Structure 1
């Protein structure tokens, strides 16, 4: 099958369905829970020590391991028109794979997902992509096994590439870290190990309604599906329209032209990249102002996170036992995607340009609400309206807790909310905010380093 329009129709029909002859959604939940219970997992915080495999190296500006692999934690200093900011930052060279294998079976598209345990996951086991591998994993620097399904994504033989983009991770924690987000449609039979299960996109979306079940990597890959490249004929369009429960979302999804919004957003992003003072440099971790060892972690009273060390044992991993630093948050962040249905009957979403210390290209497009634990909650009319409605529990269409990257963060979970702003509630947008329909956002996702991880993850929560 090489007809992209037909592939997109299969994806939409999979999104609208939870029918699965192998696993009901409840059985998938039970499988994830059973994996958690049956897998030996031990994660223990240990004293902050530099005499083992991980250690401080002044020449390297921070915490590294003996092989200089995986990642390092260094200091970073940024100077711009708002002042000087310093903090630790994860430096992880090399682009990893986040890939989902799909297959059409008996006329329906299914996605091959795995129940994967990560050391920092708050509940250990979460639904992950078919493959989730750093460069150190797939080059086997640690001496472990080759990741399952790796060859599919390297060779891409007898497969159709549905999505293939290099996307960013959390720019407040990582320095320019990126992963290759891929979805491949396999033609050949696929041997499925006990760690993996086939499921519809609708089942994945249903599992997103449960706190901390679907991991960050699954959500970002799902958000990259390129609906915008389809040009459905009238017959297909009519059939697809019946899958949508809300006409305003359908029109936002497939009908509306996105050119004007894209020009405005790119204009603002380019202005930010070209104007103002901006300097950024890596510095010695131990030279950071207001950061120090407090007896259990490397921390600061002004920091949204702290660095802890952990001894880890996970059964079934390429390497079973190891120790490593993890970033532990000091609270829950609040990520919100407001939307509005205009007089023209089209649903549009509120986004903003946002600069973060680790941004690959200085600025990305973020959700309308992106607040870390210690951030000031209300700084403009958008914040004010969102948090007032949140307090009143008004017009909340979705709200759930989701974990962040369990391989580098310790028990970090954040609130993700989709909320309706009624027309007229927000009289004027502050500078740097934009209304954009789904087609606009889906277009921008097809370009590297444009939409940040928080916005992509919120987009993945949208349902037809």
Structure 2
């Protein structure tokens, strides 16, 4: 049965109405006012009374190696459950559409953002919170359709300990009842929305980045943009890539073998340099983030009212991909990026991933590699530059500036050992597997595919 494509011209009207209807109130509260959460009397860890959802623990990080970098300590969110990030797909008039949700999360900048069809932790969809059921969950748990994507992917390794979610896209042929908060959108439309700040949420970005190359091209009205056509197709030297997939895998395996970073969970009370007040857990020197508590009223959520701890960054981050043509094919410069919370210690990350405020005024040798290169680029070299929110269920107003910038062809092709030139096609190939490409690089893959 062929169905007519959904009308999409009134997206702005629909989204504004959903933002109005799904209005929420988020207010800071003292830890003592948390309902169902408590500090463990022995370890000081902040836990939910059910033992589910997540906890805030301490972490001891030892970088290792001979760089003289001292060990450091920090809180970290421990959420061992594997949640579902699922997007439902369906063909209308020969064009694939994706069912996205206008969803409010307590940490979202601007409140409501476009999220996957299903965005739920295991505690949520098993209804530990005693709230309502998760709409459309059965399409992913029962596999009611053709699976296009099904892969475990990591989340922020600086803030989560070993956190993974199941990224899924399932395509169906049957009629799907569409709730008012949900809307069918084409890949081309979603890519256009990625050019707006804080609109397409982190979970939707990571799932869409995992869409295989063939399905990406089939789902868009005009396929991959011409700027990336060669980069998307190039998987090895014969297709125009500088390195073969085997060479790329060997580079990454070598980086993991050489990585000496260790991160050990410890009690929250034992981490030096951090203090706990009635309203926050914060580093004595200011640090990168704080742990706070909030009270949330969201009448249209499965649970209309709750309290929870959240991680609140102190400054906006930066994630940037630099690229240049090599042999006529665009190549991205990526790094083997070690993060304390990664399950396998490091993953492939953007050229630059840092918090710029932490490096202002420092001498060049103390600044992240390639940050000064990015800062020196002429404005016309910047191909993508947007502020996008990170996960709003655990992080309060967390944003990164995401940048894709073009280097000139005279930029040296020789790079330090921890860096490698890869094509978009190679990144897409790695995204078929777990624990290769980190969350920030996955967002940048989705953004690169949105460029024309």
Equivalent in the alignment of 1:193 = 179
Equivalent in the alignment of 1:369 = 352
User: Which of 75, 82, 106 pairs up with 1:119?
Assistant: 106
| Alpha-carbon separation, structure 2, partners of 1:298 and 1:190 | 45
Range that drifts further, 371-380 or 293-302: 371-380
User: Which of 147, 169, 182 pairs up with 2:155?
Assistant: 169
* CA spacing shift, 1:20–1:211, aligned 2, 3 Å: farther
* CA spacing shift, 1:428–1:67, aligned 2, 3 Å: same
* CA spacing shift, 1:310–1:229, aligned 2, 3 Å: closer
SS in 2 for 1:410: coil
SS in 1 for 2:160: coil
Shift of 1:104: 0.6
- Tell whether the 8 Å contact from 1:58 to 1:284 is kept in structure 2 after alignment: no
- Tell whether the 8 Å contact from 2:205 to 2:446 is kept in structure 1 after alignment: yes
Shift of 1:45: 0.3
| Alpha-carbon separation, structure 2, partners of 1:40 and 1:381 | 42
Q: What are the ranges of 5 or more consecutive residues in structure 1 without an aligned counterpart?
A: 2-18
Shift of 1:228: 6.3
> What do the CA deviations read for 1:318-361 (whole angstroms, capped 9, x no partner)?
1111100111111110110111122x221111110010010110
> What do the CA deviations read for 1:431-452 (whole angstroms, capped 9, x no partner)?
2111101111011111101100
Count residues in correspondence.
Answer: 433
User: Which of 324, 330, 334 pairs up with 1:340?
Assistant: 324
Within 5 A, what are the aligned runs for 1:195-234?
A: 195-227=181-213
Shift of 1:265: 3.6
- Tell whether the 8 Å contact from 1:385 to 1:426 is kept in structure 2 after alignment: no
- Tell whether the 8 Å contact from 1:252 to 1:347 is kept in structure 2 after alignment: yes
1:305 aligns with 2:289: yes
| Alpha-carbon separation, structure 2, partners of 1:51 and 1:307 | 13
Equivalent in the alignment of 2:7 = 22
Equivalent in the alignment of 2:95 = 108
User: Which of 223, 228, 231 pairs up with 1:249?
Assistant: 228
User: Which of 346, 367, 375 pairs up with 1:387?
Assistant: 375
* CA spacing shift, 1:178–1:259, aligned 2, 3 Å: farther
1:42 aligns with 2:25: yes
Q: What are the ranges of 5 or more consecutive residues in structure 2 without an aligned counterpart?
A: none
| Alpha-carbon separation, structure 2, partners of 1:37 and 1:50 | 28
- Tell whether the 8 Å contact from 2:32 to 2:278 is kept in structure 1 after alignment: no
Equivalent in the alignment of 2:55 = 72
Equivalent in the alignment of 1:133 = 120
* CA spacing shift, 1:40–1:278, aligned 2, 3 Å: closer
- Tell whether the 8 Å contact from 2:354 to 2:368 is kept in structure 1 after alignment: no
Shift of 1:273: 3.2
| Alpha-carbon separation, structure 2, partners of 1:244 and 1:69 | 42
- Tell whether the 8 Å contact from 1:340 to 1:347 is kept in structure 2 after alignment: yes
1:328 aligns with 2:315: no
Equivalent in the alignment of 2:390 = 404
| Alpha-carbon separation, structure 2, partners of 1:77 and 1:283 | 7
SS in 1 for 2:150: strand
Shift of 1:244: 4.9
Instruction: Give TM-score scaled by structure 1 length.
Output: 0.88
> What do the CA deviations read for 1:381-418 (whole angstroms, capped 9, x no partner)?
522211221xx424001100100000001111110011
Shift of 1:59: 3.9
* CA spacing shift, 1:314–1:459, aligned 2, 3 Å: same
> What do the CA deviations read for 1:231-276 (whole angstroms, capped 9, x no partner)?
x9xxx9xxx9974552x51111125525934334433332343346
Range that drifts further, 42-51 or 79-88: 42-51
Equivalent in the alignment of 1:86 = 73
User: Which of 61, 82, 85 pairs up with 1:95?
Assistant: 82
| Alpha-carbon separation, structure 2, partners of 1:150 and 1:229 | 22
Shift of 1:20: 5.9
Shift of 1:277: 4.1
Within 5 A, what are the aligned runs for 1:423-442?
A: 423-426=409-412, 428-442=414-428
- Tell whether the 8 Å contact from 2:235 to 2:245 is kept in structure 1 after alignment: no
- Tell whether the 8 Å contact from 2:23 to 2:104 is kept in structure 1 after alignment: no
> What do the CA deviations read for 1:268-312 (whole angstroms, capped 9, x no partner)?
332343346443211111221111135642111252110111011
